[in-house]
Each structure stands twice: as C-alpha cells, then as structure tokens.
Amino acid sequence: MKIDHIALFCNDLEAMRWFFMDYFEAKPNELYHNRKTGLQTYILSFPDGDTRLEIMHRTDASKQIGDEYLHLGYIHASFSVGSKEQVDKLTLRLMKAGYQVHSNPRTTGDGYYESCVEGPENVLIEITV
C-alpha cells in the first residue's frame, strides 16, 4: 500500500503551482475545473515519479486560524532533495526569493538534516536529505 497523493487547498492556485514547479521541479497536469462546484485543481507530479500533490481552489474554502505548529491535522510537506548541499542550496534560494526560513539547515536530534521554509499561503515545506 502507498499514499497516492496529498491535497492542499489554496487561495492562489497559479502562484502555488508555479512555486512547486520552480523550486521542486513539479510537473502539473491540465487544470481541472468543475463549473458546478467551482473546484479547480492541478495534480503535481515530482521527479521521483511516485510523489503527487493535488493543489485545489474553491472560493468557499475557509482559512485555518491559529498557530501553524500547534493545530491538529497536517503540519508540513517534506521534500527530500538528495544531499546536505542541496538542502543548503535550496533553502538559501528560497530565502533570497523572500520566503521565511523557520529553521535553518541543521541535523535534528533524531539525525535528519533538514530545514523548514514557509512557502506561499503559510504552507510549511521541510527540505531534507
């Protein structure tokens, strides 16, 4: 068994699509638009061939209020970029592009080398080896 994909509601579907295409090499499918419900989606595929993220937009989707680290539910998406050097490089690139770095690259207590960056619409992205 495997997870097929994870879905993420967002306000600006195109900005979110470009973020994942530009920084994480995502390839989107064609825009799906359900005119009855207003739902618009892209399925983004990543270079490993198995990982997929569905980004979705509906005008009636609500925004969560509260501390991004302390709410119930999904907290972040984690992307493995293959090496410590790539973690450092991508974190720096995102920081220079104006994205907030929540945690600089480091080795965590459980032995992972990672950073955490806040992407569009406060989406937390963990970048790891």
Separation between Cα atoms, residue 112 and residue 129, nearest integer Å: 7
Averaged pLDDT for residues 50-72: 74
Encode pLDDT of 3-46 as tens digits.
889 999 999 999 999 999 999 999 999 999 999 989 999 999 99
In the chain the domains, ranked by start, together with CATH numbers, are 1-59 (3.10.180.10), 75-129 (3.10.180.10)
Contact 115, 127 (CB under 8 A): yes
pLDDT of residue 99: 98
What HEC string does 54-114 produce?
EEEECCCCCCCCCCCCCCCCCCCEEEECCCHHHHHHHHHHHHHCCCEEEEEEEECCCCCEE
One-letter amino acid at 59 equals T
Residue length, the chain? 129
pLDDT of residue 97: 98
